[in-house]
Amino acid sequence: MIIHEVETYPQEQIQDLQLKRLKKTVEQVYKQVPFYKEAFLSLDITPDSISTLQDVKKLPFTQKTDLRNHYPFDLFAIDMKDVARVHASSGTSGKPTVVGYSQQDIENWSQIVARAIALGGGTSGGIFHNAYGYGLFTGGLGMHYGSEKLGMTTVPVSGGNTERQIMLIEDFKPTIIGGTPSYVLKIAEDMESLGKDPRKTSLKYGIFGAEPWSEEMRNVLEEKFAIKACDIYGLSEVMGPGIAMECHEAQNGLHIAEDHFFVEVIDPRTLQPVPDGQEGELVFTSLTKEAFPIIRYRTGDIGSLSRETCECGRTTARMSRVKGRIDDMLIIRGVNLFPSEIEHYLIKIKELAPHYQVYLKRQGSLDYIELHVEVNEHFYHAINGDMKHTKVAILVKTIQQAMKSHCLVSMNVSIFPPKYLPRSSGKAVRVVDKRNVTVFHNSPH
């Protein structure tokens, strides 16, 4: 359902709005954030340097390290007394990155997410089961405010405690479930273990994101729950969930909330723009934020853009599914590979459950992948008997061949029984880097 006229504006009209808002944002950061003023001056630019949307290229990039270096609040553009809320990313090392919102920012974000949920099939009167984590992570509260804004009854269940999630899904009869795709998959599996059929719930739509997932994972989730599953994208540095969202009508690219965010796609090496349709790093500039405006934020996420009008009628630019983050790209003997590409081919192997972990290991000076996969219950029960070792050996070969021919990398494969690999209630851990682990003691042979 299209809930805001801006979603169908002709491109020129969106661009006029973007330019007006960009100028205001540039003016605001120049005046209120010393970090940006210095960066502008060092490039010899002032707010007057922006007279067209193309001039955005004159502006400096912002990176995660800039947020870390100004921890916690030094990039905020308003007085702390006017900051209504902060969120932070967990950050694997050192301090988290902190972002702030004014009351108006929260109102805008709620509207953005309301639009996103409507894109994914939400309507007022429905019930939204929100299994995104609540807390400093933007997922839970971001989706919550948007769901309420849309007029949905919101169930703030957060992630974890899967048995209770299942009970609430059965009892409250939600129409939409939101959560990371990997966690919602776990909910389905646990239902099956309890002898319940996930296809029989009241759920009609799923809004999944916060981590890379493949088309094949979409098929698995749609099949398991008998729902339509759509992809939602966002990041805390730019706002949180809702920056872009797929429509359930086309399920073909994520509509960007272009009235609030200006998107660019650049080549991460040359930092130059790449043409529409070509993959590169997504870069966002906020256009309406008050507390934490951000200029040309390099997301590290790889995707591409399309500006064709979508069959749902919306005219906003669409971004592709995010393949992964540049820092998560594996480089194995010269081949670049994202875990989501491994997922894409792994899920097609019918003996496997849709769970995997990529162990990065090193032998001498060479890196290699040890792929940890899990067989599904069906295969597990079918292989009991004398042919067990042969069947597993054949499966290993099948996986190795699929990886070699599609991902161009030879991998070691370890096969585990069902439910062996760790599940997360939030973002799944797909890569485990064991390259710098030194063995403390090896027992003699």
Footprint on this chain of ligand DLL (rule: CB under 6 A):
89, 132, 137-139, 209-212, 231-236, 240-241, 299, 301, 322, 325
Cβ-based nearer residue to ligand DLL, 118 or 322: 322
Closest listed residue to residue 239, CA positions, set 329, 146, 118: 146
Q: The tokens of 268 are what?
A: 């991460």
* Nearest distance in Å: CB 160, ligand DLL: 15
* Nearest distance in Å: CB 137, ligand DLL: 6
Q: 234 Cβ partners below 8 Å, 6+ apart?
A: 138, 142, 209, 210, 240, 241, 242, 243, 244
Cβ-based nearer residue to ligand DLL, 137 or 225: 137
Cβ-based nearer residue to ligand DLL, 156 or 418: 156
First to last CA, the chain: 67
* Nearest distance in Å: CB 323, ligand DLL: 8
Closest listed residue to residue 419, CA positions, set 188, 175, 171, 134: 188
Cβ-based nearer residue to ligand DLL, 210 or 358: 210
Contact between 77 and 32 under an 8 Å Cβ cutoff? The reply is yes
* Sign of the dihedral defined by the CA atoms of residues 287, 253, 90, 177, in that order: positive
Q: At what angle do helices 215-225 and 181-193 cross, to 10 degrees?
A: 40
State yes or no: cis peptide before 72, omega within 30 of 0. Answer: yes
* Nearest distance in Å: CB 148, ligand DLL: 16
Q: What does the alpha-carbon distance between residue 231 and residue 248 come to, in Å, rounded to a whole number? A: 9
Cβ-based nearer residue to ligand DLL, 50 or 99: 99
Cβ-based nearer residue to ligand DLL, 2 or 326: 326
Q: What does the alpha-carbon distance between residue 287 and residue 105 come to, in Å, rounded to a whole number? A: 11
Contact between 250 and 121 under an 8 Å Cβ cutoff? The reply is no
Q: What does the alpha-carbon distance between residue 248 and residue 218 come to, in Å, rounded to a whole number? A: 12
Q: What does the alpha-carbon distance between residue 254 and residue 233 come to, in Å, rounded to a whole number? A: 8
* Nearest distance in Å: CB 51, ligand DLL: 31
What is the residue type of 345? Y
Q: What does the alpha-carbon distance between residue 408 and residue 401 come to, in Å, rounded to a whole number? A: 9
* Nearest distance in Å: CB 276, ligand DLL: 20
Contact between 214 and 343 under an 8 Å Cβ cutoff? The reply is yes
Cβ-based nearer residue to ligand DLL, 98 or 287: 98
Cβ-based nearer residue to ligand DLL, 218 or 379: 218
* Nearest distance in Å: CB 133, ligand DLL: 9
Q: What does the alpha-carbon distance between residue 426 and residue 182 come to, in Å, rounded to a whole number? A: 8
Q: What does the alpha-carbon distance between residue 181 and residue 205 come to, in Å, rounded to a whole number? A: 13
By the 10 Å C-beta count (0-12 exposed, 13-18 middle, 19+ buried), 156 is classed as middle
Cβ-based nearer residue to ligand DLL, 90 or 412: 90
Return phi, psi of residue 325, to 5°. -95, 150
Cβ-based nearer residue to ligand DLL, 155 or 415: 155
Cβ-based nearer residue to ligand DLL, 19 or 210: 210
Q: 70 Cβ partners below 8 Å, 6+ apart?
A: 35
* Nearest distance in Å: CB 178, ligand DLL: 7
* Nearest distance in Å: CB 94, ligand DLL: 16
Cβ-based nearer residue to ligand DLL, 126 or 146: 146
Q: What does the alpha-carbon distance between residue 342 and residue 351 come to, in Å, rounded to a whole number? A: 16
* Nearest distance in Å: CB 407, ligand DLL: 19
* Nearest distance in Å: CB 368, ligand DLL: 25
If you count them, how many residues does the chain have?
A: 445
* Nearest distance in Å: CB 130, ligand DLL: 10
Q: Which residue shows structure tokens 């949905």?
A: 152
